[in-house]
Amino acid sequence: MIRPAQLAGNEVPWCRYGYYLPQRPSFTLDPVFHAGAYYVQEAGSMFVERIFRQLFEPDTPLRILDLCAAPGGKTTLLSTLAGASGLVVANEVIRQRAGTLVDNVRKWGIGNTLVTNNDPSHFASLRHYFDLVLVDAPCSGEGMFRKTPGTRTEWSEANVKLCAARGRRILGDVWEALRPGGILVYSTCTFNVQENEETVEWLASEYDCEPVDVTADPAWGIVQGEAAGMATFRFFPHRVQSEGFFAAVLRKGDGRVRVQVPKPRKAIFAPLARREGEEAARWVGQPQQMLFQRVGENIHAYYAPQFQAVREISESLSVLCSGVLCGQLFGGKLRPEHSLALFHDVSRRQVPVVELSPDEAVAYLRKADISPVRLQEGINLVTFDGLPLGWIKRIGARSNNMYPKELRIVNL
């Protein structure tokens, strides 16, 4: 299990939240991982924070699109950076991968993210809508050859050409969704110039692109360059403690246009009655920041500053999850969903909190029976090291483990 003391002195220099692990732990059996306390990704991908901090002021109410988001590493980081005033739309075109993205977003528990399952071309209907668009394009994966040797057999010149063409199509499809003056980050985990610099040069030749001032400390070993005047960054494994990574940063030309959104297809959200809203609000630590809405039979919570954007996007695209899924109301009482337990601002004043031992925590995550001795009657919030893992309900002399069946740890 990962403990903070293990990470001291192992900071990723370009990301204040990033740490190098001294060894690969067994994530599957680490309750801290299942609580959403950390997410594992390559250090190079965390350079997104360096870009973000240099270009945006803290607490700016941003609309961010992570276009090729699964499995969710950059999404979780952007969610943290955006905070309660911002909104992150995390899109994945492949439905199965989008499901993994949903799981990771809910586990992360910030509550400011929508997961969509759309083709990049669908975002053109949200014209000039986003302040920041990240395109981590599907690529030939040359930067992963060292980490995953099997990927070498999948490489070919034909695949490089295919990936370069696909990256350009994706960029062209999403360009209209970026507002004038907005920032585009284009990245890959490959080395060749066709998918990297030549794609940036193509973009600059086809669209109104402007350079931005983003830098990296020379001591980090990142190779900083340019393509058509746009800043580029290359992470080579022999120079940087990371697998291969490439990123380019540019600004969309600042024309005078207005945001356009398509007409809504149907009404999705409905306000709650007063008592329903009061019942939902008591489960959140700072309910004054939130708007509570009914979506079908479910109650969702959204940060108020971005709810209008949530509504517009939900009425235009295929949304798989949004905000905080709180639960359903039965007899005026909320039956909480798992995602509410993992929400960073879940209230611990409304239900009993039971701290589990390491063995108990793993048993809970396996959806095994838990002794009801320390539980109070009704719903309890179970924690490990103070981190919520989920809900459990005591019914007399027995307990009902409410951990989602599809997320349970299976026998290893």
Residues 6+ apart with CB under 8 A from 356: 31, 364, 370, 382, 383, 384, 389
Query: Is residue 236 within 8 Å of 230, Cβ to Cβ?
Result: no
Pair of tokens at residue 375: 């539980």
Q: Residue 230 in contact with residue 248, Cβ under 8 Å?
A: yes
Length of the chain: 412
Q: At which residue do the structure tokens 């989920």 appear?
A: 390
Q: Which helix (H) or strand (E) holds 105?
A: helix 95-108
Dist. CA 340–CA 324, nearest whole Å: 6
| Collapsed DSSP state (helix, strand, coil) of residue 25 | coil
Helix (H) or strand (E) holding 275: helix 274-281
Residue type present at position 351: V
Strand-pairing partners, residue 375, are none
189 noted as active-site residue: yes
Helix (H, G, I), strand (E, B) or coil at 138: coil
Give every strand in the sheet of 333-336, ordered side by side: 269-271, 290-295, 298-303, 324-330, 333-336
Using DSSP, state whether 243 is helix, strand or coil: coil
Instruction: Report whether 71 contacts 140 (CB < 8 A).
Output: no
For residues 338 and 328, what is the distance between their CA atoms, to the nearest angstrom?
Answer: 12
Which of the residues 68, 139, 163, 189 is marked catalytic? 189
Give the helix ranges, DSSP H, for 157-268. 157-174, 197-206
Would you tell me how many other CB atoms lie within 10 Å of the CB of residue 344?
A: 13
Please count the other Cβ atoms lying within 10 Å of the Cβ belonging to residue 295. 15
What is the sign, positive or negative, of the torsion defined by CA atoms of 161, 163, 168, 172? positive
> Which residues are catalytically annotated?
189
